[in-house]
Structure 1
Amino acid sequence: RQIEDLLPHWSMAPVVEAVQAMRGVAFIVAVTVVAEVGDFSRFDNPRQLMAYLGLVPSEHSSGATVRRGGITKAGNALARRALIEGAWTYRMQARVSRKLHDRLENLPQAIRDIAWKAQVRLCARFRRLAATGKARVVVTTAIAREMVGFLWAIARQVQVAPAA
């Protein structure tokens, strides 16, 4: 409740509002990710943000041999955990719930389009990866990684007012 009261006075409030357009990114996840990441514009591409959050595979390569392992877990554990929890919502088919519809109401069409594209893609990807026999936690982590790319795209659409 205190966070909700303080949000309108925060310079990153427009970003928090915008990233809530994504399914699985409600108020708590949005505030957590935006607070922990800070300025999204410091990342030139979504891969840098994924690496910052530790959602990229580790690598043990030598010469021509490439061996990839589990996620690196480098970076911010709190934001990573919040995103992985949010990624579980993509196991259901793509649709706009009443709560999500209410969050989308005052957002620009460009942000809505990115959010819908993300939802369709991530729901299909979850089903496809799960159908290949991957463990659900592995699938969810893969979805969270890709979700970060869409969050980056949405956050870059928003103009942040300079801090006072």
Structure 2
Amino acid sequence: MATSCQYADIVNALACLRGLSLVGAFGLAAEIGDWTRFTGSTIGSYLGLVPSEHSSGESRSQGSITKSGNTYARHLLVEAAGAHKKPYRRPGVAELRQFELVSPATAARARLGNQRLHERAMRFEARHKMPAKAKTAIAREMAGWCWSLAAPLQEGLPMAA
């Protein structure tokens, strides 16, 4: 069903990111629906992956994530973020097969996203960040990468590599 529905192109593009299986990509595509209503920076706040803030005058205090928005989509991204801690030198066989299902520009964008997310996860690891906070930060950035893959497909625009 995921490969023959109205979201098939988006599902194939999202599944190019590490940690998102075909089922996870389908769930994310179905839960978000219209990706064009967001920007790369607003998708994280829609999913509740941004820190809460308590500000008054000159003081600014950030708290835990807001957890507003779609719980299932947030859960999919946080779980997928864990895959970026694993070693990553080059795409595996399954990932290469997935890249064949999308345009070369989409595949290049997904590769760039996979590399960036892995590097970010490694920086968090080197700084000894708490694993839950690191996964949440990776999930927030991954939401932006998902948007950058899905929104151009919905708008019917060619993707810039």
Q: Is the TM value for this pair above 0.5?
A: yes
Instruction: Count residues in correspondence.
Output: 155
Counterpart secondary structure, 1:61: strand
Q: Call closer, same or farther: CA 1:20–1:8 in 2, change over 3 Å.
A: closer
Per-residue CA deviations over 1:13-37 (Å, capped at 9, x if unaligned) read: 2111111111111112101111111
RMSD (Å), alpha carbons: 1.5
For residues 117-128 of structure 1, the aligned pairs below 5 Å read 117-128=112-123
Per the alignment, residue 73 of structure 2 pairs with 79
TM-score by length of 1: 0.89
Structure 1: segments with no counterpart, 5+ residues: 1-5
> Is the CA contact (8 Å cut-off) linking 1:84 and 1:144 kept in structure 2?
yes
CA displacement at 1:93 relative to structure 2: 2.5
TM-score by length of 2: 0.90
> Is the CA contact (8 Å cut-off) linking 2:52 and 2:64 kept in structure 1?
yes
Per the alignment, residue 3 of structure 1 pairs with none
Distance 2:3 2:16 in 1: 17
Structure 2: segments with no counterpart, 5+ residues: 157-161
Per-residue CA deviations over 1:43-82 (Å, capped at 9, x if unaligned) read: 1x11211111101111011111111111110001111011
Farther-moved stretch of structure 1 (55-64 vs 6-15): 6-15
Distance 1:63 1:137 in 2: 30
Over 3 Å off, 4+ runs? none
For residues 106-121 of structure 1, the aligned pairs below 5 Å read 106-121=101-116
Q: Percent identity?
A: 36
For residues 10-159 of structure 1, the aligned pairs below 5 Å read 10-43=5-38, 45-94=39-88, 95-159=90-154
